[in-house]
Amino acid sequence: MKKRSNEKNRLQSVHGLAFHGRMMRKSAPYWLMLVIPLAFFILFKYWPMFGILIAFQNYKIGSPFWGAGTKWVQLKWFVKFMSNPYFGRYVRNTLILSLRDMLITFPASIIFALLLNEIRSRRFRKLTANISLLPHFISTVVIVSMMMTLFSVDGGVINTLIRKLGGNEINFMGNASWFRTMYTGSDIWQNMGFSAVVFTAAIAGIDPTLYEAAAIDGSTRWKNVFRITLPCILPTIIIMWLLKIGSVMTVSYEKIILMYSPATFETADVLSTYSYRVGINEQQYSLSTAISLFNSFCNVLLIVFANKLTRRVSETSLW
Amino acid sequence: MIYKKSAGDRLFDTVVYVLSIIVIIVTLYPLIYTFSMTISDPIQAARGNVLLLPKGFSLTALRTVLNDKSIFRYYGNTIWFTVVGTVLGIFVTCLAAYPLSRREFYYRAHVTRFIMVTMFFSGGMIPTFIVVTRFLHLYNSRWSVVLSSLTTAWYIMVARSFFASIPDEIVESARIDGASEFRTFLQIMMPVSKPILAVLALYFAVAHWNSYFSAMLYISDKNLQPLALYIRSVVLQNSMANFADTSARITAAQILSNLQIKYAVIVISVLPMMCVYPFISGNLEKGLMIGSIKG
């Protein structure tokens, strides 16, 4: 046998059929345990992945993803979708909503964690933290329902208050210019406390001697926030930021579908909600799949871009 | 921490407390208001006199909603989804996580990669819809909702890293005593893994209790739908037909506003969560940390 250049090659040549046969027998109980989980992933995850192929077909309802009757149409559906007059609107709305998520909702949870840390009374801090976590456990349907009723034009308490203060009623839920505020606002209300947990934990791990040294040097608490707390949790912030980047362009369409109406499509209609309407309501399966594939494609592009950006400003990055 | 109580510090403290109190008010106000509206006198509620605390007292709204017996059916369905989804979810998650945490399992890296792929790629709504409804024939079956969201790669990774952190000696001693792999898993691993089981239970239960989207896609039979879809039809789609001619509403002389009925529906659906929350909130933060950082 020739000398192997690297370890990997050597391993591969040694591990022949006999080796794998022995290993398979040894790990039989493990495989037995994995039967159900693997069946789940194959049936409900990998099979649909294979189904993405219908974005390039004239898919007929009831036929298999790939069979004798499959008609391939190349990029027909993508062209059709991109020549849609509202194409720009879907992309713009998707981008703006996910950017707002990163630039408003995300910093809000960091600021809240910093705020919690500065509360001196332990009991009050715990109380505030626990109350802020509560909305996370309320369902999207209920949250949108509460928004619809509280901000309603006929009898909603917010408009009642506005009228009592002498203002004009605002149709919060039916007005395209208010949609983004309502979307981001409810997101912060629901998730700020929950997203802050990670940062609170990071703050708890900061060496207290840093603060003692700063106090001796006459630093104020306001300065401590920016010169000690924030720099110390920066790694956590960057990791969470990178995890967020992974889901850029994926807005919570489950919430938008409940919130929007044709009156707010101007700002509320995103790629995924459009794909939902085309697919489920109009049953144009191929077109709908092409739209969500386009969405994922933009997602990948943005991840690459954001990763470059992060690498330029910090040492941590996705790859 | 030692600070001189300077004027600046006092100002800082004041700002911190004011901001925290604002957060608390903004968080709790919608919940308290919704509750107040539900039990307020219908006339006061309709006139918009309720701003924070209940005005008058009346159970008319609650009674009207509960008079529509279908709400109990929806409730029952949600409980079914939550219980079955949580139990099966935990079971399958651990079943996958345990082999992946054992170093003796030669193929664990391959299987891990196979599962991790689903974290980054997915078939999307329509292909999944076709598989579930057409190929697996689960349309209008409760199993469509439970099976299609049985577990996620993320939960498996969280559970795996927990299992991996348990000292090997425990497993080895069981093996020396002649326990099979399954017995080790069920009788040794499971009992020492209670913290991760609790975290998984919380995650699964909350997700199933709150989910509406897959039920909306896969279940059109009203007898099988969860509570969330009932709320959606009453509050968001304004279907008040269920309450139109119930006796309670007539005796209230038609003044019971649709708005108040909506508030009552919301209260009835969040009540269980609100009752459980004070008991879990104490350990919540610790539990969430197990589930969030490692992985």
pLDDT (0 to 100) of residue A6: 53
Distances (CA, A) of B60 to A82, A98, A148, B40, B45: 53, 43, 22, 9, 12
Q: Do B259 and A130 touch (CB under 8 A)?
A: no
Residues of A with Cβ-Cβ distance to B61 under 8 angstroms: none
**Is A46 in the same domain as A101?**
no
Residue with more model confidence, B293 or B280: B280
Surface-to-core class of residue B30, CB atoms within 10 Å of its CB (0-12 exposed, 13-18 middle, 19+ buried): buried
pLDDT (0 to 100) of residue A48: 95
Q: Is A130 on the interface with B (CB under 8 A)?
A: yes
Q: How confident is the model over B254-271, as pLDDT tens digits?
A: 556 788 888 999 999 888
- C-beta separation of A276 from A291 below 8 A: no
Structure tokens at B68: 């529509």
Residues of A with Cβ-Cβ distance to B152 under 8 angstroms: none
- Residue B277 corresponds to which amino acid? Y
User: Is A126 contained in some domain?
Assistant: yes
Structure tokens at B247: 């006796």
Residue B245 pLDDT more than 70? Answer: no
Bridge partners of residue A72, in order along the sequence: A57
- Compare CB distances from B293 to A130, A198, A279 and report the shortest one's residue: A198
Return the closest-CA partner of residue A32 out of B181, B66, B129, B189: B181
Q: Is B113 on the interface with A (CB under 8 A)?
A: no
Beta carbons within 8 Å of B239's beta carbon, 6+ residues apart: B233
Q: How confident is the model over B98-115, as pLDDT tens digits?
A: 999 988 899 999 999 999
- C-beta separation of B41 from B58 below 8 A: yes
Find tokens 């300077």 and name the residue.
Answer: B6
The residue from A34, A55, A74 where one domain ends is A74
User: Is A1 contained in some domain?
Assistant: no
For residue A39, the enclosing domain spans 7-74
**Is A214 in the same domain as A172?**
yes
> Which ipTM score applies to this complex?
0.87
**Is A173 in the same domain as A288?**
yes
Find tokens 């022949």 and name the residue.
Answer: A16
The total number of structural domains that make up chain A:
2
**Is A198 in the same domain as A253?**
yes
- Compare CB distances from B125 to A152, A157, A276 and report the shortest one's residue: A276
User: Is A319 contained in some domain?
Assistant: no
Find tokens 């007539």 and name the residue.
Answer: B250
Q: Do B127 and A193 touch (CB under 8 A)?
A: no
> What whole-number distance in Å separates Cα of residue A139 and Cα of residue A168?
31
**Is A30 in the same domain as A110?**
no
Bridge partners of residue B97, in order along the sequence: none
**Is A109 in the same domain as A224?**
yes
Beta carbons within 8 Å of B72's beta carbon, 6+ residues apart: none
Pick the residue from chain A with its C-alpha nearest to B115: A41
Q: How confident is the model over B198-222, as pLDDT tens digits?
A: 889 988 998 999 899 999 999 999 9
Q: How confident is the model over B177-196, as pLDDT tens digits?
A: 888 888 888 888 888 888 88
Residue with more model confidence, B255 or B154: B154
Q: At residue B274, what are phi and psi to the nearest 5 degrees?
A: -65, -30
**Is A224 in the same domain as A125?**
yes
Find tokens 């705020």 and name the residue.
Answer: A115
Q: Do B185 and A142 touch (CB under 8 A)?
A: no
| HSE-up of residue A288 (Cα within 13 Å, Cβ side) | 24
- C-beta separation of A3 from B155 below 8 A: no
**Is A147 in the same domain as A228?**
yes
What tens-digit pLDDT sequence spans chain A (319 residues)? 444 445 555 555 567 888 888 888 888 889 999 999 999 999 999 999 999 999 999 998 888 898 888 889 989 999 999 999 999 999 999 999 988 998 999 999 999 999 999 998 989 999 999 999 999 889 999 999 999 989 988 778 899 889 889 888 899 988 899 999 999 999 999 999 988 988 998 898 899 999 889 988 888 888 889 999 999 998 888 888 877 877 777 788 899 999 998 999 999 999 999 999 999 999 999 999 999 999 988 888 887 887 787 778 777 666 6
- Give one DSSP letter per residue of A176-224, joined into a string: HHHHHHHHHHHHHHHHHHHHHHHHHHHHHTS-HHHHHHHHHTT--HHHH
Give me the CATH number covering residue A247: 1.10.3720.10
User: Is A96 contained in some domain?
Assistant: yes
**Is A40 in the same domain as A92?**
no
The residue from A53, A74, A95 where one domain ends is A74
Instruction: Output the average pLDDT for chain B.
Output: 85
Structure tokens at A288: 């709908």
Q: Do A288 and B209 touch (CB under 8 A)?
A: no
Q: Is A304 on the interface with B (CB under 8 A)?
A: no
Strand segments, DSSP code E, in chain A are: none
**Is A257 in the same domain as A178?**
yes
- C-beta separation of A131 from B282 below 8 A: no
- Compare CB distances from B30 to A119, A150, A208 and report the shortest one's residue: A150
Residue with more model confidence, B284 or B278: B278
> What whole-number distance in Å separates Cα of residue A313 and Cα of residue A309?
7
Residue B1 pLDDT more than 60? Answer: no
Q: Is B238 on the interface with A (CB under 8 A)?
A: no
Structure tokens at A100: 């707002």
Beta carbons within 8 Å of A88's beta carbon, 6+ residues apart: none
The residue from A52, A74, A96 where one domain ends is A74
- Portion 132-171 of B in contact with A at CB < 8 A: 132, 134-136, 147-148, 150-151, 156
Superfamily (CATH H level) for B69-295: MetI-like (1.10.3720.10)
Instruction: Choose from B113, B130, B263, B286 for mutation: most chain A CBs within 10 A.
Output: B130
Q: Is B228 on the interface with A (CB under 8 A)?
A: yes
**Is A129 in the same domain as A276?**
yes
Residues of B with Cβ-Cβ distance to A258 under 8 angstroms: 232, 236
> What whole-number distance in Å separates Cα of residue A248 and Cα of residue A256?
16
Structure tokens at B272: 């269980």
Q: Do B132 and A44 touch (CB under 8 A)?
A: yes
Q: How confident is the model at residue B27 (pLDDT cuts 50, 70, 90)?
A: very high
**Is A167 in the same domain as A70?**
no
> What whole-number distance in Å separates Cα of residue A127 and Cα of residue B234?
34
pLDDT (0 to 100) of residue B137: 93
- B61 to chain A, minimum CA–CA distance in Å? 15
pLDDT (0 to 100) of residue A273: 94
Q: How confident is the model at residue B294 (pLDDT cuts 50, 70, 90)?
A: very low
